[in-house]
Structure 1
Amino acid sequence: MSSFTVRTAKSEDRLFLVTLMAALQDAERELSPNRTPGSEMGDAHLAYLEETVEQQNGQIYVAESQEGIVGFVVCFVEKLDEGDLHIVEQEREYGYISDLYVVPTMRKYGAGAELMRAAERHFFDLHLKIVRVGLLCSNESAAKFYQKSGYQPYEVLYEKHLNEV
């Protein structure tokens, strides 16, 4: 078992985070062909997430071993619109985990679970009651991981591609 620590990402981590973001995207691309290749979007998407984290009281955490950064998680606060009265008021603001990735060789050693705990602690410190995470329906390994971490399905989004109507 490899040891690692989880910490807030630093500016000097950015180049490696871009590489990991591209790897995450390519992994999702294997599950869903509508994903842009990681090499084409990694830097720009990370920049977008950095801005979102800044604006929405979020964090980017990294898991680091003696070999270097082995994973990351991006989390921020989401708020429903004032008119979203179908959800009770205390759950209209919630923590959202938008991206989580651990390099394949470090999976099953607890890095993902520790990254999730860091995000959850961040939201707990903000006095939020709910944390949500999204995943592709075909990503069964991610679904198992999240369920093992105490998450359960909340909403399912279906999609249909319209070729001819």
Structure 2
Amino acid sequence: MIIRLATPNEIPIIKSYGKKVQEEATVGYLTQNDEIPTKETYFWGESYYFVLVNHDHICGWVLVGDTYHPFKQEPTGMIIELYVLPNYRNYGFGQQLMAAALKHFKYKGYKTVQLNVFAGNPAKKMYEKLGFRDVSTAMEIHF
């Protein structure tokens, strides 16, 4: 298993999972019938997919991007998407992808990395183990 930048040929494969990733990551808040929000709304700079591959087969990926911290007034790293295909879960591959993403941001000199996680998403426990902490809570009411 290796982690590297995704190739141009791998991007369409990754994006073909978009609706499934959306439904799982939002814990059903958004379904596969809902329109996928554009990733471009999350960041202002470059974005990269890092893929975890085994013999040229994609097992998972992390999408990282640059954003601007609204309160600290500084460039900030953003974990936009993390996904491990179901057959490759529970082997620590999500943690490996996150470690690669954090190493990328440290190399770029960022002081802060953020991500959004929906309530009930089991990945939140992994993020907390990696040192992420709650900063704010989004709340809503439906009529």
TM-score (norm 2): 0.84
Greater share of helix residues, 1 or 2? 1
Match of 2:105 among 123, 148, 155: 123
What is the CA distance between 1:40 and its match in structure 2?
6.3
What is the CA distance between 1:153 and its match in structure 2?
1.3
Does structure 2 retain, via aligned residues, the 8 Å contact 1:25–1:38? no
Q: Which residue of 2 aligns with 1:108?
A: 90
Structure 1 residues not aligned, in runs of 5+: none
For the aligned residue pairs, the C-alpha RMSD in angstroms reads 2.6
Alpha-carbon distance in structure 2 between the residues aligned to 1:51 and 1:155: 19
Match of 1:17 among 14, 18, 40: 14
Alpha-carbon distance in structure 2 between the residues aligned to 1:124 and 1:52: 20
Q: Percent identity?
A: 25
Greater share of strand residues, 1 or 2? 2
Alpha-carbon distance in structure 1 between the residues aligned to 2:133 and 2:42: 25
Alpha-carbon distance in structure 1 between the residues aligned to 2:105 and 2:54: 25
Q: Secondary structure at the match of 2:10?
A: helix
Alpha-carbon distance in structure 2 between the residues aligned to 1:112 and 1:147: 13
TM-score (norm 1): 0.74
What is the CA distance between 1:21 and its match in structure 2?
2.4
Q: Secondary structure at the match of 2:4?
A: strand
Alpha-carbon distance in structure 1 between the residues aligned to 2:141 and 2:45: 31
Does structure 2 retain, via aligned residues, the 8 Å contact 1:76–1:96? yes
Structure 2 residues not aligned, in runs of 5+: none
Number of matched residues? 143
Alpha-carbon distance in structure 2 between the residues aligned to 1:51 and 1:10: 23
| Residue identity matched to 1:144 | K
